[in-house]
Amino acid sequence: MKTFIMRTRWVIGAVALIALLVTDGQSQNDTPLRLNDAQIASAAVTANQVDVNYGKLALKKSKRAEVKKFAETMIRDHSGVIDQAMDLAKKLGVTPEDNPLTQQLTQGEEETTKKLEGLKRKKFDKAYIDNEVAYHEAVIAAVKDILIPQTQNEELKALLVQVAPVLEHHLKMAKETQANFK
Amino acid sequence: MKNLRLNRVFSLILMIAFCMACSAGDDNLDQGMAPDKKQDEVEKEMTTITIKNMAFSPAKITVEKGETVVWVNEDVVPHDVTDFINQEWTSGTLSTGQTFKKVIEKELDYFCSIHPTMKGNIVLKK
């Protein structure tokens, strides 16, 4: 029962994130969230950094080899994307700009990290992987439905288009790992 | 006499520096290059596999025995090229833009050990 409640929480969290991605999260009339390229760059870097941070927490708390390997891959891949996004932003003269999406991602990270830090090792492993599945599903939706269509600069758009299959691959890896917990 | 010794030591240092400079030109992660062939001959026999969008492309190729295959990482994340059966050989981590070369002497099944669902296969022409 507890497992069901915990899993439900991750799913609700992911749904809330997706809901925020399609609205500005503040207005009453669900106005679609509009972002400029500087804000999209900020959201992309933050979304990757959040998963790097979850991965670092997993390396610290987990003893399970497959969880640690997954976390290492997340850290390596998302750090690589951050480097490329920052290099591109520098080349384009774009300064990543804070926005409601970036703020929500950071707030979500704080809440999730607090929950994960409070869990014992075995429960942590499952909760971390459940969160990775939900988080990647939410971010894939955001990248495909919001960030790519709204990006004006072609190079930034091309980078986001290339990131999408990476996220889908991560989701597949997370689901495969998740299946081993059943 | 002392000057002669100093000259010899200086000449030796210059020769070593020259040899190091000659060998440091290629920053690719090469492996198993045929030593007797000229560069243009080697390039003619080179087949390129692109790593992009989390896949090896083409995933399956057919080459002559002794042909060189070069993998180029054009993806946004690091990858590697590793022997699938026993992990007997690996490119090590290839960051974006890095390449790995290997002379193909036998049929190979390989994968990316970082992203294990990425697989490729090389067969020899009969």
CB count within 10 Å of CB A59 equals: 13
Confidence of residue A121 (pLDDT cuts 50, 70, 90): confident
The per-residue pLDDT for A41 is 95
Res. A16: pLDDT tops 60: no
Judge whether A36 and A147 are in contact, CB under 8 Å. Answer: no
Q: What is the Cα–Cα distance from A81 to A48, expressed in whole angstroms?
A: 7
Contact between A10 and A134 under an 8 Å Cβ cutoff? The reply is: yes
Alpha carbon separation from A85 to A3, A169, B72, B79 (Å, rounded)? 37, 19, 20, 18
pLDDT at B7: 63
Summarize pLDDT for A138-181 with one digit per residue, the tens.
Answer: 999 999 999 999 999 999 999 999 999 999 999 999 999 999 98
Place of tokens 């990482």: B73
> Is ipTM strictly over 0.90?
no
Residue B48 domain-assigned (yes or no): yes
The first and second tokens of residue A175, run together, are 């689901």
- The answer on pLDDT for B9 being more than 80 is no
Q: Is residue B118 part of a domain?
A: yes
Question: Could you give the number of structural domains in chain B?
Answer: 1
| Range of the structural domain that residue B68 is part of | 28-124
Confidence of residue A118 (pLDDT cuts 50, 70, 90): very high
pLDDT by residue (tens digit) across A32-41? 689 999 999 9
Handedness of CA B8, B13, B16, B21 (dihedral sign): negative
Q: Residue B72 pLDDT more than 70?
A: yes
Question: Which domains does chain A possess?
Answer: 2-18+35-179 (1.20.1260.10)
Alpha helix locations (H) across chain A? 2-22, 37-61, 65-92, 100-117, 121-142, 148-150, 154-179
Q: Does B67 touch chain A (CB under 8 A)?
A: no
B6 within domain boundaries: no
Answer whether residue B18 is part of any domain: no
**Which phi-psi region, left, alpha or beta, contains residue A149 (left: φ > 0; alpha: ψ -120 to 50)?**
alpha
State the nearest Cα–Cα gap between B85 and chain A, in angstroms.
20
Q: Is A69 on the interface with B (CB under 8 A)?
A: no
Per-residue pLDDT tens digits for A40-94: 999 999 999 999 999 999 999 999 999 999 999 999 999 999 999 999 999 999 9
The confidence score (pLDDT) of residue A32 equals 67
The CATH number for B119's domain is: 2.60.40.420
A166 vs B95: CB contact, 8 Å cut-off? no
pLDDT of residue A74: 98
- The answer to whether residue B73 is domain-embedded is yes
Choose among B54, B93, B117: nearest Cβ to A166. B54
CA distance B98 to B96: 6
CB-based contact (8 Å) between B77 and chain A?
Answer: yes
Tell me the CB-side half-sphere exposure of residue A53, using CA atoms within 13 A.
18
Concatenate the DSSP letters of all residues of A158-172 into one string.
HHHHHHHHHHHHHHH
- At B35-56, the pLDDT tens digits run 444 555 555 578 999 999 999 9
